[in-house]
Amino acid sequence: MKKEIIIQLHGSFEKSVQKDTASGLEFWLARDLQKLLDYDEWRNFLKVVDKAKMACLNSGQNVSDHFVDINKMVQLGSGSERQINDIMLTRYACYLIAQNGDPSKDQIAFAQTYFAVQTRKQEIIEKRLGEVERLTARRKLTFSEKELSGIIFERLGDEQSFGRIRSKGDKALFGGKSTEQMKGRMKVPKGRPLADFLPTITIKAKDFANEITNFTIKRDDLRTEDGITGEHVKNNREVRNLLVKRNIKPELLSPAEDAKKVERRLISEQKKLLGRPEPLEQWRLRG
């Protein structure tokens, strides 16, 4: 997610935070969150809220501790007032709502991290968004590699051919450096895949090359190792050329933090949020 989008969303989300003067607890109003998450209609947003309530119940929490129905007065264009329904939400409730949204939308992806971390500092949220993006890219690379491996085995019947073809593709992407040479440069522990230590842009580059290869193997009905290897090498070389034109040389980029370590940290953060969500119990009788 681009930095300017993060800055814009952070400012919008920060303006929506409310605080109870007596207890100091933070809360959010559902109608504000509806706009932040880019839902046009209240009734459609309530469907997501209902899913979040079910998730709350399934996690062993009291729904009424985190979703508190209230009534409030709003100004109409004519100057008169009208009473409408709203819902007071804890951070945990907001998190569950965001988790039930479409993560391809910037607003949802941002909200999932914003409500997951215990601080609202922009730089920490930005860092976590980057970590989530990298893990998502890593999982996608795993899927495209599995698809490529399956296609190759189906057509060649050789379990070792995928490794040979992938290795030659890596060599094309990394400017002549082999997978093992890159592992040595990045100090990858023995037995661990190189991709777990690559920065996000290189992971995405490998995945993009895989996707092109998967598509063209099927489209052109390639059925020889030489043919598939040539296609995969060509795709990795062309992806590399695209990066180099923007002064990005994959073999020179610094290694990233172990993806498995990042994943464990994010899971731990999530467990902390889910394990001790702060309730809104003292506000149940309001409205």
What is the C-alpha separation between 92 and 66, in angstroms, rounded? 7
pLDDT for 282: 47
Question: Do residues 179 and 241 touch, judged by C-beta distance below 8 A?
Answer: no
Question: Do residues 204 and 144 touch, judged by C-beta distance below 8 A?
Answer: no
pLDDT for 284: 42
* pTM to 2 decimal places: 0.80
DSSP symbols for 99-110: HTS-TTSHHHHH
What is the C-alpha separation between 111 and 114, in angstroms, rounded? 5
What is the C-alpha separation between 142 and 134, in angstroms, rounded? 12
Pick from 119, 252, 274, 139: which is nearest to 193 by CA?
139
pLDDT for 272: 75
Question: Do residues 229 and 160 touch, judged by C-beta distance below 8 A?
Answer: no
Per-residue pLDDT of the chain (287 residues; tens, 9 = 90+): 888 999 999 999 999 999 877 777 889 999 999 999 999 999 999 999 999 999 999 988 899 999 999 887 677 666 667 788 999 999 999 999 999 988 889 999 999 999 988 777 899 899 999 999 999 999 999 999 999 999 999 999 998 999 999 999 999 999 999 999 999 999 999 999 999 999 999 999 999 999 999 999 999 999 999 999 999 999 999 999 999 999 999 999 999 999 999 999 988 887 776 666 667 654 443 33
Q: Beta partners for 26? A: 19
Write the CB contacts of 224 (distance below 8 Å, at least 6 apart in sequence): 156
pLDDT for 287: 35
Q: How far is CA 100 from the centre of its chain?
A: 13
